Amino acid sequence: MSDDPDKVWPTGLNLKEAEEVHSYLIDGTRVFGGIALLAHILVAFSTPWLG
């Protein structure tokens, strides 16, 4: 696959593969962000830290 024009430097993945790996990263960040937000709201309900 060394002649693949879509190959991305420096990982050796081609464009589609790189995009898929990236999509896992983005999805993971969204889920983590949502979870963290929800957890903070719940903590604020039981022990409010702003007034």
Partner 1 sequence: MSYRTFTLRKIASVAPRYLPFADVATEEVPLSRLLRLSLFQITVGMALVLLVGTLNRVMIVELAVPATLVAGMLAMPLLFAPFRTLIGFRSDNHRSALGWRRVPYIWKGTMYQFGGFAVMPFALLVLSGYGEAVDAPRWVGLGSAALAFLLVGAGLHMVQTVGLALATDLVKPKDHPKVVGLMYVMLLFGMVISALIYGALLTHYTPGRLIQVIQGSAVVTVALNLFAMWKQESRNRDRAQEMASAPQVQFADAWRDLVARPGTMRLLAVIGCGTFGFGMADVLLEPYGGQALGFSVAQTTQLTAIFAGGTLAGFGIASRMLSRGGSAVRLASVGAATGIPGFAAIIMSSVLGGPALFVAGVLATGLGAGLFGHGTLTATIRSAPPDQAGLSIGAWGAVQATCAGIGVALAGITRDILVATPQFSGLPPHAPYNFVFMTEIAFLALAILVAVPLTVRLTRAKAVHPVGTPQTNPVEAP
The residue within the footprint of partner 1, chosen from 25, 26, 42, 50 (CB under 8 A), is 42
33 binds partner 1 (CB under 8 A): no
Q: How far is the CB of 9 from partner 1 (least distance, A)?
A: 17
Number of residues assigned to the chain: 51
If DSSP codes are grouped into helix, strand and coil, which group holds residue 20? helix
- Whether the CA torsion 20, 22, 27, 31 is positive or negative: it is positive
| Residue 35 interacting with partner 1 (CB under 8 A) | yes
Residue 24 sits in the site that holds partner 1 (CB under 8 A): yes
Q: Alpha-carbon distance 20 to 30, whole Å?
A: 15
**Could you say whether residue 5 binds partner 1 (CB under 8 A)?**
no
